[in-house]
């Protein structure tokens, strides 16, 4: 068995042992997932795409995405926690100093620390250049003030990579990334948001009120924050795409099983051509979104200069498909699809999140069309 196959079969065993038996607890009751996350780290699943020199397995991002797909099929919550955690780890890998990689990244990779990335603010979502959080330099220290909104893993995380303006006059170059530890003085987490779905996925505001950080907490160099976060978000768009893909695959599987069992007019509903047409549409859209997501992961492995374009296409399409496919799954379940006891009602609500996070789908379309408009003369 080659190594990739071994990792994938290990992931299947992990899901059967740790996730499947607790799926309802996690997804419906919203219970804490820290223990499962720690196990994932301990078993090396977070380490898959990271370099060996920092304790990673040095395997492909494509393999990591394949493992994430299996996890997302059973738990949108755990998939979301991993996705947000990865943003903090990749931002330090991309822009951090060697000391920061040794101090934080090595532990994030093993799941010994949990991380978040905080860019969005109450008045700055799609337009990150308008963030108001400020870091004022005072000697060897920075004083941070501001509020971050919607931060995933807030409350669960040990470290937060936070974007702040260090020079308001310098535009994108005036933004820096800082590592804030959960125990830092004057750093507070707001109440957990009550959301449409995924009650176990932590989401809250962060409040920085004169948080004093030594200069070694700037990720890499002052002024590089915007470049770091943009590169990190490209990666996050693939993990968002794969979350949506896993959800779509689950919705199809559940709908097909149901359609074979449900009898109307004396026959299973799967024998009706209109239901078959839905199944054909769902399966085809899923296959297309799988190809786009896996293609984007391979482009990352190949350091393709157009990775950003493929990542946006994957996120945009896979999330749109998740909404479409879960809607059709609800339709196939008929009235039972509307009942919370049946999984497809939950998947339909969860699917919507993927069209919003990591840059809304409107923003993905802007990125894609910008590339195409420049390319085609
Ligand atoms: C569950 C969840 C988890 C999240 N986790 C994190 C996290 O961990 N870290 C983090 O930093 N953020 C996080 N976010 C925030 C998320 O990235 C933002 O919600 C998203 O980028 C959109 O920003 P906004 O909500 O302010 O919407 P807005 O930017 O106000 O957009 C509102 C609407 O206007 C549209 N719009 C805006 N500008 C344009 C334009 N130029 N052209 C066309 N349409 C436009 C949008 O597409 C959208 O439809 C999370 C959000 C959610 C819901």
User: 73: Cβ–Cβ under 8 A, 6 or more apart, which residues?
Assistant: 246, 247, 249, 250
pLDDT tens readout for residues 299-330: 999 999 999 999 999 999 999 999 999 999 99
Query: What is d(CA 37, CA 65) in angstroms, rounded to the nearest whole number?
Result: 16
Q: How do the domains of the chain map onto residue ranges?
A: 3-114, 116-223, 227-375
Instruction: Confirm or reject: Cβ of 359 under 6 Å from ligand 1.
Output: yes
**What CATH number matches the domain at 3-114, 1.20.1730.10, 3.40.50.11540, 1.10.540.10, 3.40.190.290?**
1.10.540.10
Mean pLDDT of all residues belonging to the chain: 97
Instruction: Confirm or reject: Cβ of 233 under 6 Å from ligand 1.
Output: no
Pairing relation of β-strands 203-214 and 141-152?
A: antiparallel
Please say if the pLDDT value at position 107 is more than 60. Answer: yes
Task: Kindly write down the DSSP assignment for every residue of 50-94, as one continuous string.
Answer: S-GGGT-----HHHHHHHHHHHHHH-HHHHHHHHHHHHHHHHHHH
Active-site annotation holder among 27, 358, 362, 375: 358
pLDDT for 131 equals 96
pLDDT tens readout for residues 258-303: 999 999 999 999 999 999 999 999 999 999 999 999 999 999 999 9
Residue nearest to atom 6 of ligand 1 (CA): 151
Q: How far apart are the first and last CA of the chain?
A: 48
Task: Report how far apart, in Å, the C-alpha atoms of 340 and of each of 27, 315, 337 are.
Answer: 12, 27, 8
pLDDT tens readout for residues 161-195: 999 999 999 988 899 999 999 999 999 999 999 99
pLDDT for 32 equals 67
Q: Closest by alpha carbon to 285, among 327, 257, 254?
A: 327
Instruction: Confirm or reject: Cβ of 177 under 6 Å from ligand 1.
Output: no
Q: To the nearest whole percent, how much of the chain has pLDDT over 90?
A: 95
Q: Does domain 116-223 have CATH number 2.40.30.10?
A: no
pLDDT for 1 equals 57
**What CATH number matches the domain at 227-375, 1.10.3720.10, 1.20.140.10, 3.40.50.720, 3.90.1180.10?**
1.20.140.10
Token match 């509307």: residue?
338
Annotation marks residue 358 as catalytic: yes
User: Which pLDDT band holds residue 149 (cuts at 50, 70, 90)?
Assistant: very high
């Amino acid at each position: 068995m080659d190594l990739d196959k071994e990792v994938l079969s290990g992931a299947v065993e992990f899901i059967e042992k740790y996730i499947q038996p607790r799926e309802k607890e996690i997804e419906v009751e919203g219970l804490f997932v820290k223990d499962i996350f720690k196990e994932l780290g301990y078993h090396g699943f977070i380490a898959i795409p990271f370099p060996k020199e920092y304790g990673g397995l040095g395997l492909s991002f494509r393999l990591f995405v394949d493992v994430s797909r299996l996890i997302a099929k059973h738990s949108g919550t755990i998939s979301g926690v991993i996705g947000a955690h990865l943003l903090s780890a990749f931002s330090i890998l991309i822009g951090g100093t060697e000391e920061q990689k040794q101090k934080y990244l090595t532990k994030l990779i093993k799941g010994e620390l949990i991380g978040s990335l905080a860019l969005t603010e109450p008045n700055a979502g799609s337009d990150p250049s308008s963030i108001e959080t400020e870091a004022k330099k005072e000697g060897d220290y920075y004083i941070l003030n501001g509020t971050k909104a919607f931060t995933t893993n807030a409350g669960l995380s040990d470290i937060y990579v936070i974007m702040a303006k260090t020079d308001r006059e310098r535009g994108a170059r005036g933004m820096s990334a800082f590592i804030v530890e959960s125990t830092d003085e004057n750093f507070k987490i707001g109440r957990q948001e009550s959301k449409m779905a995924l009650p176990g996925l932590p989401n809250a505001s962060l409040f920085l009120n004169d948080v004093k950080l030594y200069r070694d907490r700037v990720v890499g160099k002052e002024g590089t924050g915007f470049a770091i976060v943009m590169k990190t978000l490209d990666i996050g768009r693939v993990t968002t795409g794969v979350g949506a893909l896993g959800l779509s695959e689950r919705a199809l599987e559940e709908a097909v099983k149901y359609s074979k069992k449900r009898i109307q007019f004396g026959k299973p509903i799967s024998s009706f051509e209109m239901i078959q047409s839905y199944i054909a549409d769902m399966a085809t859209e899923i296959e297309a979104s799988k190809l786009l997501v896996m293609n984007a992961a391979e482009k990352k492995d190949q350091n393709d200069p157009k990775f950003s374009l493929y990542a946006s296409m994957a996120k945009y399409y896979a999330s749109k498909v998740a909404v479409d496919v879960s809607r059709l799954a609800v339709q196939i379940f008929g009235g039972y699809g509307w009942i919370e006891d049946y999984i497809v009602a939950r998947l339909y609500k969860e699917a919507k999140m993927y069209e919003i996070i990591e840059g809304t789908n409107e923003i993905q379309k802007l990125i894609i069309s910008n590339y195409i408009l420049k390319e085609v003369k």
